Amino acid sequence: MSALSLKKNPELLQKKRLRIINKAIKLFIKNGYGETSMRDISKATGIDLSNLYNFITSKEEILFLVFEVLHEPAVELFDKYQISEIKDPEEQLRTAVFRLAEVMFEHKNETLLLYRESKALPKKYLSIILEREKKLVERLEEILERGMKENIFLQEDAFFRANLILFQLTLYPIRSWNLKKYSKEELLKMSTECVMKSVISDPQRSRLIQSQ
Amino acid sequence: MSALSLKKNPELLQKKRLRIINKAIKLFIKNGYGETSMRDISKATGIDLSNLYNFITSKEEILFLVFEVLHEPAVELFDKYQISEIKDPEEQLRTAVFRLAEVMFEHKNETLLLYRESKALPKKYLSIILEREKKLVERLEEILERGMKENIFLQEDAFFRANLILFQLTLYPIRSWNLKKYSKEELLKMSTECVMKSVISDPQRSRLIQSQ
Amino acid sequence: MSALSLKKNPELLQKKRLRIINKAIKLFIKNGYGETSMRDISKATGIDLSNLYNFITSKEEILFLVFEVLHEPAVELFDKYQISEIKDPEEQLRTAVFRLAEVMFEHKNETLLLYRESKALPKKYLSIILEREKKLVERLEEILERGMKENIFLQEDAFFRANLILFQLTLYPIRSWNLKKYSKEELLKMSTECVMKSVISDPQRSRLIQSQ
Amino acid sequence: MSALSLKKNPELLQKKRLRIINKAIKLFIKNGYGETSMRDISKATGIDLSNLYNFITSKEEILFLVFEVLHEPAVELFDKYQISEIKDPEEQLRTAVFRLAEVMFEHKNETLLLYRESKALPKKYLSIILEREKKLVERLEEILERGMKENIFLQEDAFFRANLILFQLTLYPIRSWNLKKYSKEELLKMSTECVMKSVISDPQRSRLIQSQ
DNA sequence: GATGAATGAGCATTCATTCAT
DNA sequence: CATGAATGAATGCTCATTCAT
């Protein structure tokens, strides 16, 4: 069909992989990872069962790739929005948290899968995932620590708080069944502000900054 | 034996069911729900495979019963510690939150299962579980609303906050892999205080109360 | 059907296993181990595919059991014919060799399988098989060494000769395609005498003994 | 490239075939015929999977060609060492046997494959292989018969003995797992002498000849 | 009430080979 | 002549559940 074959054209391979991943996400969400068969994925993608294995090496890898789809933008957002350039810790944290919330919202399904199905991953993949999660926590931890030093954030265990923040942000993906009544904008705002309020030492100052 | 038939002796049935549930919890935790076979449960309980079906109706029901084991103490704690009798909203919330955190900690594995495997439940069971979760949220919501009316808590969306609080408390069960370094006491304290700080309008007052 | 179930009646289990093994031998011989599917065995035995696994744990185990069917009589023959009681080394060796040839002949198919398919065995099983083969070699080696000490057998490397003898006896099972023209009696006699001739130091003496 | 098409340049075809055969031998030895996939062979040779089929017609043919690699030197050795020119039957047999043993030793792996995997061959190929084996047996048979006529060898069934001799010589390839402790020289010598001893009618004469 | 045997659908993965280009 | 993609059947094994006793 095309002059460029898969092996010589990695983009095409990526495209097919993405098609597989996206269909797989839907199936995993709907029926669970374990309950989704490779036959289902084959049917959904229109790619012959045996042919699937030209693009991925195993069902487990598909799950791993699904998680990458989520993690990539979460990690990259720190660069994309130049988080580390922001001087004011409060603004820095608020931006990071808001953008993270956004990514989580947009990848609500992948996030849910991450929490629900990551135990299906073989260690090889799982440790990569956990490592990335730790990296995210560290980023937040750094921001928090600077803010605490400057007395803008409350003095507390920065590592625990960083974990809690990241976790809080998955509230909607995990419990959307009880939060249907909120719009995306409401959710992002509430999520961000809940985080900020619990961290800020002087609410007065905060209100000033926000209204700038 | 025949005189004490199951139907005529519900206690015996309950006892056997509990044995099944407790062994099943361990297996589900260790290997996952999908990866645990009825044969495994039969072996672990010493109850013949076919015989299991005299005590439970399906594998799915076992999972449901496991979740009940977790929910029961969570729901009962409100009575047990007479939460609704506590007049001061701050103290009331703190007690509720602390006790909930305690239950979550003690049933860390079941909580994790709840998040990981509840989608394996058929709707019939799932809706019961979600209903109970909603009940818990409502209880917190009521406390929050009273506190807001009395201006002790910050004015905000009580329903969202109640959801968030309940969710925050599952931090440890879900992400214990990154929180190994904390002791139970540290975790319970930090969890409770994080919730309180994010809710209290006047930190001054709070400190007074706590030191009473 | 029967009052005694499999678990309580190991004989019945053994019977079923034997049925499986015997059908499997035929299939393995005809089509090869790798080319015989569990479905084939199921069909041949009339035992449902899934049910097969109540009697055996894996296809590999079937192959192992096939080899046991061969090895058992080979090992036991030393007791059965009280080989170690025979005082004259020549007579002792001749009896052992003849009986071994007999067993090989009668289990021609299993012997052929042993040589053809033993590489399909996982190490666990393979080492058991090889150990048993070594035991057989040792038995012959002992007889040979005694005969050499008494100067009835030629002085030579007893271990190598024992290996060679055991191997020679598999001539018919392995190369029966070129030996169809001989009767069982001819084969057993020729095989035995070929071994004896190659070992005896004084042919004169030998002829005397045989004609006794 | 196009000028030297395969059909017009049989040498090139032979070269590629040899490359395929030699890599295949290694793979078959290591993993077995059934467990080696055409993909494996493709990877090992660097020849594209579909392209392989320009040089060979099927996987089975590869196996057949592997066996040819073994048989060729075994058959040719009779010419190479001018066996038929040797006048003395004993010397003639000893030379043939020693050279055969040598070939078997040097092609130990192929010999083992021949015994292990030849049943994977379709009849078409298998009968060719067996025919060649029969030819080898005949060659030995002729030598034996002449020696018996001249009363240098023991009177016995020459055909059976020829089969046995050829078979004996595969002892090492087939049972090398139990013969690791011998060197090549030891093995060749012992193998040859075992054959000779079992055939010679007058050991005295034999010793004279050998020491010439 | 307890038990062994059965059932039949399901799983992920791999294969040799053949097109169409 | 070389190549990527396709095909479709086959593999060993496991499962929750249900009979017949």
Query: Can you tell me the mean pLDDT for B68-73?
Result: 87
Q: How far is CA A2 from CA A8, A17, A48, C83, in A?
A: 11, 17, 19, 77
pLDDT at A40 over 50: yes
- Domain co-membership, A98 together with A172: yes
Q: What is the CATH number of the domain that holds B100?
A: 1.10.357.10
Other Cβ atoms closer than 10 A to C83: 18
Yes or no: say if B167 and B191 are a contact pair by the CB < 8 Å rule. Answer: no
- Domain co-membership, C113 together with C159: yes
Burial of C167 (0-12, 13-18, 19+ CB in 10 A): buried
Compute the mean pLDDT over every residue in chain D, rounded to the nearest whole number. 88
Chain A residues in contact with B137 (beta carbon < 8 A): 178
pLDDT at B48 over 50: yes
- Domain co-membership, A35 together with A70: no
- Domain co-membership, C27 together with C91: no
- Domain co-membership, C18 together with C88: no
In Å, what is the separation between the CA of C11 and the C1' of E4?
15
- Domain co-membership, C98 together with C191: yes
- The pLDDT value recorded for residue C4 is 41
Q: What is the CATH number of the domain that holds D35?
A: 1.10.10.60
What tokens were used for D182?
């011998």
Does residue B169 lie in a domain region?
yes
pLDDT at A207 over 70: no
Confidence band for B7, pLDDT divided at 50, 70 and 90: low
pLDDT digits (tens, 9 = 90+) for D72-119: 899 899 999 999 999 999 999 999 999 999 999 999 988 999 988 888
- Domain co-membership, D112 together with D148: yes
Which chains sit next to C, with 3 or more Cβ pairs under 8 A? Answer: D
Yes or no: say if A62 and A56 are a contact pair by the CB < 8 Å rule. Answer: yes
Does residue C1 lie in a domain region?
no
Q: Which domain holds residue C17?
A: 9-57
Q: Name, in order, each residue with C-beta under 8 angstroms of C186's C-beta and a sequence gap of 6 or more.
A: none
Name residue C64's beta-bridge partners: none
Q: Which residue has the higher pLDDT, C15 or B151?
A: B151
Yes or no: say if C161 and D194 are a contact pair by the CB < 8 Å rule. Answer: yes
Confidence band for D210, pLDDT divided at 50, 70 and 90: low
- Domain co-membership, C84 together with C16: no
Does residue C147 lie in a domain region?
yes
Other Cβ atoms closer than 10 A to B109: 17
pLDDT at B4 over 70: no
Does residue D83 lie in a domain region?
yes
Does residue C154 lie in a domain region?
yes
Compute the mean pLDDT over every residue in chain A, rounded to the nearest whole number. 88
What is the distance in angstroms between the Cα of B8 and the nearest Cα belonging to chain A?
Answer: 39
- Domain co-membership, D53 together with D66: no
Measuring from the CA of residue D7 to each C1', which nucleotide is nearest? F1
pLDDT at D140 over 90: yes
Measuring from the CA of residue C12 to each C1', which nucleotide is nearest? E4
Residue in D59, D178, D195 to test binding to C, most C beta-carbons within 10 Å: D178
- pTM here is 0.85
Residue C33's identity, in one-letter code, is Y
Terminal-to-terminal C-alpha distance of chain A: 57
Chain C residues in contact with D171 (beta carbon < 8 A): 163-164, 167
pLDDT at C7 over 90: no
Yes or no: say if A150 and A201 are a contact pair by the CB < 8 Å rule. Answer: no
pLDDT digits (tens, 9 = 90+) for A163-196: 999 999 999 999 998 899 999 999 999 999 999 9
What is the distance in angstroms between the Cα of D125 and the nearest Cα belonging to chain C?
Answer: 15
Q: Which of B191, B114, B190, B198 is nearest to B154 (CA)?
A: B198
C127-161: b (≥16 Cβ within 10 Å) or e: eebbebbeebbebbbebbbbbbeeebbbebebbbb
Give the closest of C120, C163, C179 to D163, CB-based: C179
- The pLDDT value recorded for residue C17 is 87
Q: Which of C144, C82, C136, C139 is nearest to C114 (CA)?
A: C136
Q: Which H helix or E strand runs over D122?
A: none
pLDDT at C41 over 50: yes
pLDDT digits (tens, 9 = 90+) for A53-105: 888 999 999 999 999 988 999 999 999 999 999 999 999 999 999 999 999 99
Does residue B172 lie in a domain region?
yes
What positions of strand E are covered by protein, i.e. any atom < 7 Å from a CB? Answer: 1-21
Query: Can you tell me the mean pLDDT for A145-166?
Result: 94
pLDDT at A2 over 50: no
Please tell me which residue lies nearest to nucleotide F21, judged from CA to C1'.
C1
- Domain co-membership, D72 together with D156: yes
Per-residue HEC secondary structure of C92-155 comes to HHHHHHHHHHHHHHHCHHHHHHHHHHHHHCCHHHHHHHHHHHHHHHHHHHHHHHHHHHCCCECC
Domains: count for chain A: 2
- The pLDDT value recorded for residue A3 is 37
- Domain co-membership, C81 together with C172: yes
Quick one: chain B helix, strand, coil %, rounded to 5? Answer: 75, 0, 25
Which residue of chain A is at minimal alpha-carbon distance from B170?
Answer: A167
C47 touches strand E (CB under 7 A): yes
Give the closest of D119, D130, D154 to C116, CB-based: D119
- Domain co-membership, D73 together with D169: yes
Does residue B118 lie in a domain region?
yes
Q: Which of A55, A58, A50 is nearest to A17 (CA)?
A: A55
Using CA atoms, how far apart are residues C162 and B125, in angstroms rounded to an integer? 71
Does residue C209 lie in a domain region?
no
